[in-house]
A and B are shown apart, each in its own frame.
Chain A
Amino acid sequence: MHIPDGFLSLPVCLAMGLVSLVILGIALRQVERQFADRLVPLMGVSAAFIFAAQMINFPVLGGTSGHLLGGTLAGVLLGPWAGTLAVMVVFGVQALLFQDGGIVALGANLFNMGFVGTFLGYYLYRGVRKLLGGKSWLAMATGTAVASWASVVTASALVAVQLALSGTVNLAVVLPAMIGVHALIGIGEAILTVGVVSFLWRTRPDLIFEPLAPILTAVPPIQESIHGR
Chain B
Amino acid sequence: MGARGRWVVAGLGLALLVAIVSPLASPDPDGLERVAADQGFAHREVPSWAEQLPFAEWFAGYALRGLADPAAAKIAAGITGTLAVFGLAWGAGAVLARARGARRP
A residues near B (Cβ < 8 Å) are 1-7, 28, 31-33, 35, 37-53, 55-60, 63-67, 82, 85-86, 89-90, 92-104, 156, 159, 163, 168-169, 173-174, 177-178, 181-182, 185, 204, 207
Whether the Cβ atoms of B4 and A49 lie closer than 8 Å is no
Whether the Cβ atoms of B90 and A40 lie closer than 8 Å is yes
Whether the Cβ atoms of B31 and A93 lie closer than 8 Å is no
Q: List residues 3-51 of chain B with CB under 8 A from any CB of chain A.
A: 4, 7-8, 11-12, 14-16, 18-19, 21-22, 24-32, 34-36, 38-39, 41, 44-51
Query: What residues on A are CB-neighbors of B68 within 8 Å?
Result: none
Query: What residues on A are CB-neighbors of B86 within 8 Å?
Result: 44-45, 47-48
Cβ-based interface call for B67 (8 A): no
Query: What residues on B are CB-neighbors of A98 within 8 Å?
Result: 50, 55, 59, 61-62, 77, 81
The answer for the CA separation of A39 and B34 in the assembled complex, in Å, is 38
**Of B12, B46, B60, B99, the contact of A5 (CB 8 Å cutoff):** B46
**Of A35, A50, A67, A178, the contact of B35 (CB 8 Å cutoff):** A178
**Of A40, A49, A104, the contact of B49 (CB 8 Å cutoff):** A104
Whether the Cβ atoms of B8 and A45 lie closer than 8 Å is yes
B residues near A (Cβ < 8 Å) are 4, 7-8, 11-12, 14-16, 18-19, 21-22, 24-32, 34-36, 38-39, 41, 44-51, 53, 55-56, 59-62, 74, 77-78, 80-94, 96-97, 99-100
Whether the Cβ atoms of A35 and B25 lie closer than 8 Å is no
Whether the Cβ atoms of B14 and A49 lie closer than 8 Å is yes
CB-CB nearest in chain B for A47: B89
CB-CB nearest in chain A for B58: A97
The answer for the CA separation of A2 and B21 in the assembled complex, in Å, is 21
CB-CB nearest in chain A for B97: A37
Give the interface centre of A3, A38, A55, A181 by most chain B CB atoms within 10 Å: A55
The answer for the CA separation of A107 and B82 in the assembled complex, in Å, is 21
Query: What residues on B are CB-neighbors of A32 within 8 Å?
Result: 96-97, 99-100
Known: A7-B45, A51-B81, A55-B19. A89 touches B32 (CB 8 A): no
Known: A64-B31, A178-B35. A82 touches B25 (CB 8 A): no
Whether the Cβ atoms of B78 and A85 lie closer than 8 Å is no
The answer for the CA separation of A37 and B104 in the assembled complex, in Å, is 14
Whether the Cβ atoms of A57 and B26 lie closer than 8 Å is yes
Known: A31-B93, A178-B35. A67 touches B15 (CB 8 A): no
Whether the Cβ atoms of A43 and B89 lie closer than 8 Å is yes
Whether the Cβ atoms of A64 and B28 lie closer than 8 Å is yes
CB-CB nearest in chain A for B24: A56
Whether the Cβ atoms of A156 and B31 lie closer than 8 Å is yes
Query: In whole Å, how far is A22's beta carbon from the nearest beta carbon of chain B?
Result: 18
The 24 sampled A-B contact pairs (Cβ below 8 Å) are A1-B31, A5-B47, A6-B44, A7-B44, A39-B93, A40-B94, A41-B93, A43-B89, A45-B11, A48-B82, A55-B81, A56-B22, A57-B25, A59-B28, A60-B31, A85-B92, A90-B89, A93-B84, A98-B61, A99-B51, A102-B49, A169-B41, A177-B35, A178-B35
Query: In whole Å, how far is B65's beta carbon from the nearest beta carbon of chain A?
Result: 12
**Of A2, A65, A169, the contact of B39 (CB 8 Å cutoff):** A169
